[in-house]
Amino acid sequence: MRPNARRRTRFAHLTHVGYAVSLAALLAGCGDETPTRPAAIPDRPAMSGVAAQAATNGKIAFATDRHGYPNWEIYVMDADGGAPTRFTNDPAQDVNPAWSPDGAKLAFASDRTPAFDIYYMDAIALAPPTQLTSDAEFEIAPAWSPDGSKVAFGRGGNDGAEIYVINADGTGQIQLTNNTFYDDSPSWSPDGSKIAFTSRRDGNTEIYVMNSDGSAQTRYTDAPADDLEPSWSPDGSKIVFASSRDGNMEIYVMAAAPLAVPSRLTFDAGFDIDPVWSPDGSKIAFRSQRDGNAEIYVMNADGSNQSNLTNDPATDVSPSWQPVPASFTFAFTGFYAPVENPEVRNQVKAGSSVPVKFSLGGDQGLDIFRVDGSGRPYPQFTSEPCETGGVVVPIDETTVSPAGLTYDAATGRYTYVWKTDKAWAGRCGVFQLGLKDGSDHHALFYFVR
């Protein structure tokens, strides 16, 4: 038996149906770089709140054996199929590409170690990968949480497969499902509260949904055929999946509700599977064998205008569509009382807690502050010499509330409780508010005893 033969046999066993399910359909590869265990992933904008609620359609990653089976690789192409670029280069099998929610990283599964593990890399061709998981069992089908803080994946062997989740820095691995059957192909809801997945617990393959902590596992499809590979729409209202319920593997879409009636999107004698939404929700990419070999196709979300993107004699599978966070600007309108806007200098007792109030034009979530070029988070205070002259106004309101940020829906305002330092007595300085839209806002202070 060849060195990789046993691994491929075990991987094929995880398919648990005759179709190339995401657990088994996706074989691919990466470079000669030496993988490293992650220390931490740098901060990235969270895909939550109005600040990051919209994303445009970026590139499409996919797995291919165009360099000779079984040397599968990850490729990335433009959304129209142009400029296909090899992103991995390794004799192993690198599969299941999955873009991070900010579009800056690609996770994938690879058997470059003794079994399939989860890796991630910067979204740069041939960037060195970082190993996220390490286990004797197969770990495949990674799926990023919407805020980029976690990765869900399937782990399995000869006796079944389960859904796990791990922090994006490699810590805090948790098992979410626990039964003797196969659970795989996780897909997060856009708000991060739920995970759709494929399960064989009912004798055939069905779509299930659970809370992101593994609780409340609920059956969403009920057909004698196989329903598999769910993908949640960006607005959270629909789930697209593949099914053989009409005698051939086709793409269907259903409302994101238990036992909702699905609508069929593809009508072809070929094999259609691997559906994934575009980030703006207008299109669906999928894999089809209607042309005699597996190709990446795209269609409108209603099933119209189906077209071949890859057009290559090799096998192309497992599309993943890159989100490109839309640009945004917070509607900052200045500071509210008790803090005065520049050029007035606010006089306050050193050591007190100041309620810094402001509006951003509505609820933008609490993840609104950015970090500076040195990795220091905002808000920040910078000391400066006290100049004579100018207007100084005593602050007439302090608070005993704990430091931190809150939002009041009734007033539409944020309050950041800023705990000052007694050591600042007799000093002046600038309170700096750095927001994730790149804007900077400041207020002037003078501290007294």
Q: What is the CATH number of the domain that holds 353?
A: 2.60.40
220 and 281, same domain (yes or no): yes
Whole-angstrom distance, CA of residue 442 vs CA of residue 289: 59
On the 0-12 / 13-18 / 19+ scale of CB atoms within 10 A, 149 is: middle
Residue (of 325, 264, 268) closest to 45 by Cα position = 325
Whole-angstrom distance, CA of residue 119 vs CA of residue 100: 12
Q: 10 Å Cβ neighbour count for 346?
A: 22
10 and 102, same domain (yes or no): yes
Residue at 331: amino acid letter: A
What is the residue whose two structure tokens read 């007595």?
425
- Is residue 12 helix, strand or coil? helix
Please give the pLDDT value at position 33: 36
pLDDT band at 403 (very low <50, low <70, confident <90, very high): confident
- Mean pLDDT value across residues 397-411: 90
Point out which residues pair with 99 in neighbouring strands. 106
Q: What is the DSSP string of 264-332?
A: E----SS-EEEEEE-TTSSEEEEEE-TTSS-EEEEEETTS-S-EES---SS-EEEEEEEEEEPP-----
174 and 69, same domain (yes or no): yes
Tens digit of each residue's pLDDT (9 = 90 or more) over 52-65: 345 789 999 999 99
- Mean pLDDT value across residues 153-168: 92
End residue of a domain, out of 284, 300, 325? 325
Phi, psi of 107, rounded to the nearest 5 degrees = -90, 155
End residue of a domain, out of 267, 301, 325? 325
174 and 58, same domain (yes or no): yes
Name the residue range of residue 403's domain: 335-448
**pLDDT above 60 (res 410):** yes
293 and 202, same domain (yes or no): yes
On the 0-12 / 13-18 / 19+ scale of CB atoms within 10 A, 429 is: buried
294 and 425, same domain (yes or no): no
**pLDDT above 50 (res 10):** no
- Mean pLDDT value across residues 409-434: 94
Whole-angstrom distance, CA of residue 238 vs CA of residue 278: 13
- Mean pLDDT value across residues 188-201: 96
Please give the pLDDT value at position 329: 85
**pLDDT above 50 (res 6):** no
Average pLDDT, the chain: 86
CATH of the domain at 32: 2.120.10.30
Share of the chain above pLDDT 90, in %: 73
**pLDDT above 70 (res 16):** no
**pLDDT above 60 (res 262):** yes
Q: Which residues contact 247 (CB under 8 A, 6 or more apart)?
A: none
312 and 341, same domain (yes or no): no
Tens digit of each residue's pLDDT (9 = 90 or more) over 344-377: 999 999 999 999 999 999 988 898 998 877 778 9
122 and 252, same domain (yes or no): yes
How many angstroms separate the Cα of 184 from the Cα of each of 22, 108, 140, 278, 390?
Answer: 8, 15, 9, 21, 66
- Mean pLDDT value across residues 191-197: 96
- Mean pLDDT value across residues 6-33: 33
9 in a domain, yes or no? yes
CA 272 from centroid of its chain's CA atoms? 25
End residue of a domain, out of 306, 325, 344? 325
Please give the pLDDT value at position 23: 40
Tens digit of each residue's pLDDT (9 = 90 or more) over 326-335: 777 899 999 9
pLDDT band at 128 (very low <50, low <70, confident <90, very high): very high
Tens digit of each residue's pLDDT (9 = 90 or more) over 55-95: 789 999 999 999 998 899 999 999 999 999 999 999 999 99
How many angstroms separate the Cα of 271 from the Cα of each of 25, 305, 433?
Answer: 12, 17, 54
By the 8 A CB rule, do 28 and 97 touch?
yes
Please give the pLDDT value at position 54: 57
**pLDDT above 50 (res 34):** no
**pLDDT above 80 (res 202):** yes
Residue at 184: amino acid letter: D
264 and 391, same domain (yes or no): no
Whole-angstrom distance, CA of residue 103 vs CA of residue 122: 9
**pLDDT above 90 (res 400):** no
330 in a domain, yes or no? no
395 and 287, same domain (yes or no): no
* Count of structural domains, the chain: 2
Share of the chain above pLDDT 70, in %: 88
Residue 22 CA neighbour count, 13 Å, CB half? 39
Please give the pLDDT value at position 176: 98
- Select the more confidently predicted residue: 267 or 372: 267
